[in-house]
Structure 1
C-alpha cells in the first residue's frame, strides 16, 4: 500500500513538474533578477556588485517618485471604478436578459476589441480625441461648441482609454459570476414580497461579488503599471510610475534604481489589493 501511494505521488509530481518549472523560469526568475538588481549600485554604463539600500532610500524620499505613485494609484482606481460600473450592467444584461442561444454571440462581440493590438486601440483613441478628431467634429457640427475641446493630454483621456481597453476583462468575470446564480433564489425573493431592486441588492449583488472582486483586481493591477497610454494619450506630460521605471531602465540606464522603483510599486499594489480584499471580506461578513 505504501509503495502504491509513493508511486501515485511520484506520478503526480511528474505531472506538475513541467508547468511548475515553466512558471519558475517565466515568472520567478525575472522577478528575482529585478529584486537582486535593486540592491546593487549603478556605475557609469555598468552595474557595480556592491550591495546598498540607497536605491530604496531614494524611492522613499524622492518627492517625484511619490507624486507619480499617487497619480498612478489615482488613475488606476478611477479606471477600475469606471470600468466595473460600466461592465456590470452589460454583464447583467447578457446574463439575465439575452436569450440563452444568443449569449455566445454577445460574448463574441465583447471580445472583438481583442482582435486588434492594444497599441492600435490607443492610437485610435488619440485620433478620436484630437482637436480635429471625431468627437470635436461632431460637437462643432451640432453647434454644441464653437471651439475644439482639449481632451488629449489630460487625466480624463487616459482614464477613458484605459477603461475601454480593459472593459472586456471586467465584463467576462462578472458575467461568469452572474451565470452561476441560481434563478430560483431570485424567484423566492420576489415570492416573499421583495421588490426587484431589493432582490438585486440582497441576493444578486452579494452572489455576484466574486466576479466583481475578480474584475476589480484584473483591471486595477495592470493599469498601475501601464506606460503606453500615458505616453501616447498624455503626450508625455502626465507620466505614471511605469514611465519612470522605463526611463530609468532604458534612456538613463540606471537599472538598480529602476528595479527598486518597480519592486516598490509592486509592493504598493500588493498592499492596496490586500487591503481591498480585507475590507470587502469584512463588509460581506457585516451584511451576513
Structure 2
C-alpha cells in the first residue's frame, strides 16, 4: 500500500514538474530579482556591496507616491466597477437567453478582441475619442456641436472607458461560468413560492453568481493597476499611474533599485487590498450551488 502511494506521488510529481519549473523560471526568478534590486544602492546584482532599506524609506516618504498610488487605486476601482456592471448583463444573456447550441459561438465572438494587439486597441480608442476623432466628427456632421469636444480625451473618463473595453472579456467569462453552475430548479422554486423575476434574481441568482463577480473583479482590478500604456496614450501622460512611475524610474532615470522598491511596494498594497476585498466577500465565496 505504501509503495503504491509513493508511486502515485512520483507520478504526480512528474506530471506537475514541467509547469512548476516553468513557473519558477518565468515568475519566481524575475520577482526575486526585483526584490533583490530593491535592497541595493548601485543597481548592479553582479557586485553586491551593501543591502539597504533607503529605497523603501524614499518610497514611503515621497508624497508623490501616495498621490499616484491613490489615483491608481481609484482608477482601477472605477474600471473594475464599470467593467463588472457592463459584463454582468452580457454574461446573464449568454447563460439564460442564448440557446445551448449557440453559446460556444457567442463565447468565440467575445474573444475576438484578443485577436488584435492591446496596443492597437488603445490607439483605436484614441482615434475614436480624439480631437478630430470619430465622436467629434460625427457630432459636428450632425450639427450638434460646432467645436470639437476636448473633455472626452486625456482624462480619467477616457482611461476608464478604454480599460473597461480592454478587460471586458476577463469579466464576462468568470461571471458566465458562475451563472452556468446555478441549478435552474432553484429559480423555479423561487417563482413557485410567489417571487417575481426581479426578486428571484436579487435573492437567488445574484448571490449564487457572486463568486464569479468576485473573481471577475480581481481579474480586472489587479492588471489595471499595472497598466502604463493607457495612461501614457489615452491620458496623454498627464495622469500617470503607479506603473508609469515605475517605468520612469527603471528606464528613463535608470534607477532600478528605487523602481524595484516602487514595484514591490505597489504589489504589497494591491495584495492587501485584494485580501480585504476577499474578506469582505467571504460569505459569497462559501455559497453552495
TM-score of the aligned structures, taking structure 2 as reference length:
0.94
**Equivalent residue for 1:155?**
156
Q: How does 1:87-102 map to 2 (within 5 A)?
A: 87-102=87-102
Whole-angstrom CA distance in 2 between matches of 1:33 and 1:69: 23
How many Å apart are 1:284 and its aligned residue? 7.4
Note the alpha carbon deviations across 1:27-65, whole angstroms, 9 max, x for none. Answer: 111111100110110379x98631111100111110111
Whole-angstrom CA distance in 2 between matches of 1:43 and 1:200: 56
Note the alpha carbon deviations across 1:187-228, whole angstroms, 9 max, x for none. Answer: 110000011111001110011111101100000000001000
Q: Is the 8 A contact 1:41 1:47 kept in 2?
A: no
Q: Is the 8 A contact 2:136 2:149 kept in 1?
A: yes
**Equivalent residue for 1:3?**
3
Segments of 5+ residues of structure 1 without an aligned counterpart are none
Segments of 5+ residues of structure 2 without an aligned counterpart are none
Q: Is the 8 A contact 1:139 1:145 kept in 2?
A: yes
Whole-angstrom CA distance in 2 between matches of 1:112 and 1:158: 21
**Equivalent residue for 1:274?**
275
User: Bigger CA drift: 98-107 or 276-285?
Assistant: 276-285
Whole-angstrom CA distance in 2 between matches of 1:47 and 1:227: 31
**Equivalent residue for 1:176?**
177
**Equivalent residue for 1:195?**
196
Q: CA RMSD in A?
A: 1.8
Q: Is the 8 A contact 1:140 1:146 kept in 2?
A: yes
Whole-angstrom CA distance in 2 between matches of 1:162 and 1:153: 13
Whole-angstrom CA distance in 2 between matches of 1:99 and 1:10: 44
Note the alpha carbon deviations across 1:241-287, whole angstroms, 9 max, x for none. Answer: 000111111111100000000000000100111000101125778xx
TM-score of the aligned structures, taking structure 1 as reference length:
0.95
**Equivalent residue for 2:115?**
115
User: Bigger CA drift: 216-225 or 101-110?
Assistant: 101-110
**Equivalent residue for 1:146?**
146
